[in-house]
Amino acid sequence: MNNFTVEAIELTRVYGGREAVSNVSFTLSKGEVLGFLGPNGAGKSTTMKMLTGNLAPSHGSVKICGIDMIENPKEAKALIGYLPEMRPLYKELTVDEYLIMAARLHRVSAKHIKSAVETAKERCGLGHMSKRLIENLSNGYQQRVGIAQAIIHRPMVVILDEPTVGLDPIQIRDIRALIREVGVEHSVIISTHILPEVEMVCDHVQIIDKGKLVFNGAIDVLKKQRVGNKLLISLHNPPAADAMLNIAGVTEAESLPGGLIRVRFAENATPAEAIVQAAVHHGWGLYQIAPDQTSLEDVFMQLTYQEQVAEEQPAA
Amino acid sequence: MIINVARKELKSVFASPMGWVILSLLMFAFGTQYLNGVNDYFAVMSGAMRPAERTGVTQFVGQSVYGLASFIMLFAVPLLSMRLIAEERRSQTLPFLFSAPISLTEIVVGKFLGLVGFLSILIIFIAAMLSTLNIWSDIDFGFIFANSIGLLLMVASFSALGLYFSSLTQQPVVAAILTFVALFALMMFDRFFAGDPNNILANLSLTRHFQTFSGGLIDTADIAYFILFTVTFLTLTVRRLDADRLRG
């Protein structure tokens, strides 16, 4: 008996002969937050629809806490809370009416409905909106109602498709805090385009591109790739790049316009101090030195690009 | 679980003024017909000298009210059934139901019962209205009962058909028009075979099967027809929604 809350096994979905998602396999354990990254049309939403039983996979299977989604859809669905990309809100109802209905449909027993609705509202900061029509709420509050309906029955797995789209920065911060809070007890899967969000909220990251899983691992791996062993040095009188190579630990130096020099150094070396000393000694006019961070976007680009190159090479 | 889906549908109907307006307008129409029926009864019966021309007040008033009811349902049901699935599809709320722990059959049957439940309010009101004749007359409750059952079965058949057409499209209006045309054709079907009443195709007509009920007769063959009709279209709806899940 394993402890995986979500197991996706070789999920494939074919749309008219084209594979929208092909051979995606992954597992998720209790208390983990998984971030799903990928460009538009990469298959994020399709994968999520398959995980929640809204779409039948062409091949492969989904298991939620060991229960097969295709064989026992009702039992498996009872363990999932899902917020699709388009919020499934009945706008003619009030927040309370809608949440009570959601609780009932998710088999919350009659005597616990009231407390379940109260808890969900409190967690999503909807307390003072109880009697308002959903139609009259702002975009951000509607999104909160969407999240409240996904967590109302305390599911084992919460699946949120782009939960922070269209929110203001404060709301985004609140929602992120909420996702982390939910992630402590349950497993959470979120999809997003916003890369820093993944770094802030998720433990695990999956990057999907053209229906294939390009990267699957802990967030730390991605972070390490991001920081790299690079320094960016700003000088008033920059020397030739080769002068840098004489400093111990520096393996590569590259001159950039505007008196900048990018220096790559060996693993475990700390050449910063030596560089500063050399700069003072030779009068290079050092005014700034900082670790050169590749943005997460670059890492993302690299990963999706590498995949393309790898694909093309065998063909060549 | 079916009950919860039905409750959701009823809640949606009554959340906007739409449900109340339809109920009150239809009851106004039936009430007027009832009042006219009672007035006409005195006018006609005072002129009817021979005993063979005389009919009971229940049948006279009842027939005119139930006749109007079956005709009005032809317009009312498509307007109410059109939004059941098409509207949810258009506003993308179907995943809410699909990802809840309920089967497709429960969703479809729940929606169907929600609509039939709403319409049976009208059927009960009509029966209650006609029963008030009993205050100053001795009426035939069996006649009212048979007509109510007939109207309920017919409304259920209308609703099942409407639900199916609603599941075919994203546009509620398209669903309403399709439903109306299909129902109208089924109602008028036996007129085409007026010269040959025993034609098999004429038996498909909804009107023909309602006629026995409106005469006060409960015939199991007609009950079976309406139930089969309803079950067929509910099954087709489930299959249509399942195709959504499989083919996307």
The verdict on B95 touching A (C-beta cutoff 8 Å) is yes
Please tell me the predicted confidence (pLDDT) of residue A165: 77
**Arithmetic mean of pLDDT, B198-209:** 78
Q: According to the CATH classification, is domain A1-79+155-224 in 3.40.50.300?
A: yes
- Rounded CA-CA distance B233/B212 in Å is 23
Q: Cβ contacts (< 8 Å) between B8 and chain A: which residues?
A: 90, 101, 105
Domain count, chain B: 1
Phi, psi dihedral angles at A283 (to 5 degrees)? 65, 45
Give the pLDDT confidence of A224-276 residue by residue, as tens digits.
666 667 778 888 887 777 777 777 777 777 777 777 787 777 777 777 788 88
Cα–Cα distance between A200 and B78 in angstroms, integer? 51
Mean pLDDT of A262-291: 79
Residue B232 is predicted with a pLDDT of 95
Amino acid identity for residue B159 in this structure: S
Structure tokens belonging to residue B216: 């006060």
E-assigned strand segments in chain A: 4-15, 18-29, 33-37, 59-64, 67-68, 80-83, 157-161, 187-192, 204-209, 212-218, 230-235, 250-256, 260-265, 286-291
Residue of A191, A291, A287 whose CA lies nearest to A232 = A291
- Among B8, B85, B96, B245, the strongest candidate for a mutation testing the A interface, having the largest count of A CBs within 10 A, is B96
Minimum distance, in Å, between the CA of residue A58 and any CA atom of chain B? 8
Contact B17/A at CB under 8 A:
no
**Contact: B1, A52; criterion CB under 8 Å:** no
pLDDT of B242 over the 50 cut: yes
Does A93 sit within 8 Å of B12, measured CB to CB? yes
Tell me which chain A residue has its CA closest to the CA of residue B1. A105
**ipTM, 2 dp:** 0.84
- Using pLDDT thresholds of 50, 70 and 90, give the confidence band for residue A315: very low
Query: Contact at 8 Å (CB) between B237 and B231?
Result: no
Residue B87: which of B193, B167, B204 has the closest Cα? B167
Which domain, by its residues, includes B83? 2-247
- Each residue of A144-156: pLDDT tens digit? 899 899 989 888 8
Q: Give the closest-approach CA distance of B244 to chain A in angstroms.
A: 8
Instruction: Pick the closest to residue A157 from A134, A185, A137, A135 (CA basis).
Output: A185
Instruction: Choose which CATH entry (3.30.70.3420, 3.40.50.11810, 3.30.70.100, 1.20.210.10) describes domain A229-291.
Output: 3.30.70.100
pLDDT digits (tens, 9 = 90+) for A167-205: 788 888 888 888 888 888 888 998 887 777 787 888 888
Beta carbons within 8 Å of B134's beta carbon, 6+ residues apart:
B141
A138 or B179: whose pLDDT is higher?
A: B179
Please report the pLDDT score of residue A227 as a whole number: 62
* The two domains A1-79+155-224 and A229-291 share their CATH topology (first three levels equal): no
Residue B78 · residue B184 · CB < 8 Å:
no
Using DSSP's 3-state secondary structure scheme, residue A43 falls into coil
- A101, B11: Cβ pair inside 8 Å? yes
- Please tell me if residue B90 touches chain A, with a CB cutoff of 8 Å: no
User: Whole-structure pTM over 0.90, yes or no?
Assistant: no
| Cα first-last separation, chain B | 25
| A188 and A182 Cβ atoms separated by less than 8 Å | yes
Record the tokens describing residue B196, joined without a space.
Answer: 């040959």
The structural domains of chain A, with segments of one domain joined by +, span: 1-79+155-224, 89-154, 229-291
> Looking at the predicted structure, is the pLDDT value of residue A96 above 50?
yes
In chain A, which residues have their Cβ closer than 8 Å to the Cβ of B102?
A: 74, 77, 105
pLDDT at B238 over 50: yes
The Cα angle at residue A35 between residues A95 and B93, in degrees rounded to 5: 35
Q: Check if B239 contacts A (Cβ < 8 Å).
A: no
Q: In what order do the strands lie in the sheet containing A230-235? A: A250-256, A260-265, A230-235, A286-291
CB within 8 Å: A89 and B93: yes
In tens, the pLDDT along A9-34 reads: 888 888 877 888 888 888 888 888 88
pLDDT, residue A288, reads 82
Quick one: pLDDT at residue A295?
63
Residues of A with CB under 8 A from a CB of B: 13, 15, 49, 52-56, 73-75, 77-78, 80, 82, 84, 86, 88-93, 97, 101-102, 104-107, 149
Nearest to A53 among B7, B94, B98 (CB): B98
Region B149-173: mean pLDDT is 94
Tokens of B213: 């009920």
Which chain B residue has its CA at the smallest distance from A73's CA? B101
Angle at A190 between CA A187 and CA A191, to 5 degrees: 155
